[in-house]
Amino acid sequence: MGNLQREVTAIEPRMQATTQGENMPALVPELVNMASSPDVSTADLLRRALVIARRLAVPDLVDWLSQEMNGYDDRKSIPEHRVIWGQLQVLEPVSGEHIPFLIQNAEKDELVRRHCEGQAISVLESIAASEGEIVKHFPTEVEQKLMDRMRVRMRPRLVFSSAQVRGIVDGARNKILEWALDLEGRGIIGEGMSFTPQEKQAVQEQHYYFGNVSGSQIQISSNGSTQTQANTTAGNDLEALQGLIEALGAILDQGAVQGDAAGELRAELMTLKAQAASPRPKWEIIKATARTIKSVAEEAAGNILGELAKPHVATLLALAAGAAGG
């Protein structure tokens, strides 16, 4: 009886270890579930994706994930999904209030309002969860140059919304989800918290492009293939741009949106009008503006987003989801 008890005692840890191994979720499906769950922070998602990227030996993804987690030191390496457009304001000296300010030269206005956000994703998650506007001041040299061009010198600043920052966080999250779904679709699962030599080989035969890629989408191509981007500045997209301008203008004139949301939408409307008037509209700016409008409209009271989803307008809003390149 004593010998039997000792044998059972020795077997139990092995059975427990085996059971735990069998219950371990496969790496890639777990990553898909994490990316799809609003309860999982994007910082935690990035860390888990980094484990998988290292085990699959995907150096480009490892670099991108590390920069998303820790922040970007080089402004030139900041990817497109981290570019947001602020509202330019100046401090009016008489009233002491900040008022919108538009630079008449469209290209200079775009250059001033374009902001590449390089902070760590955990910082951006905290900012995205906050209420109210987000203010960034220019470097002293840039600030002085802007003030020198004003008839009345007023200190400028850029103002953003938390919805724009949430768009950055969601952009990183969407990239990871797209990559994980592609792996899962090709049978690269990672059972038992590891990958087989065959799975690793399959990944090495695939090209993944991360980071500063036009359209902010993860691009996937098979070995030896090339990718081309379609020109989306066709007439239907220009009609969509004009349709969005008209629909948004009508909503604002009706007073359907109030408070900070109305101010933000008016600023974005000015951006769209400037692009529509330009002989060479910049679709990168239009897409970013459409993303912001969509985010604000989704949070605003009433069926604002439904009012925007009219003929041609839906085409332009699809650009915000990456359905077309720019």
Q: What pLDDT is attached to residue 283? A: 76
Q: What pLDDT is attached to residue 230? A: 35
**Residue 222: pLDDT band with limits 50, 70, 90:** very low
Domain residues of the chain, as ranges? 21-73+173-222, 82-167, 235-320
Other C-beta atoms closer than 10 Å to the C-beta of 285 total 22
Q: What pLDDT is attached to residue 147? A: 92
Instruction: Return the percentage of the chain with pLDDT > 90, whole number.
Output: 34
How far apart (Å, rounded) are the C-alpha atoms in residues 252 and 245?
A: 11
pTM metric for this prediction: 0.61
> Residues with Cβ < 8 Å from 193, sequence gap 6 or more?
24, 27
Residue range 171-211, pLDDT digits in tens = 899 999 999 999 998 899 999 888 999 999 888 777 666 66
Question: Which of 85-89, 222-226, 314-318 is most confident?
Answer: 85-89
Distance of CA 148 to the CA centre of its chain: 34
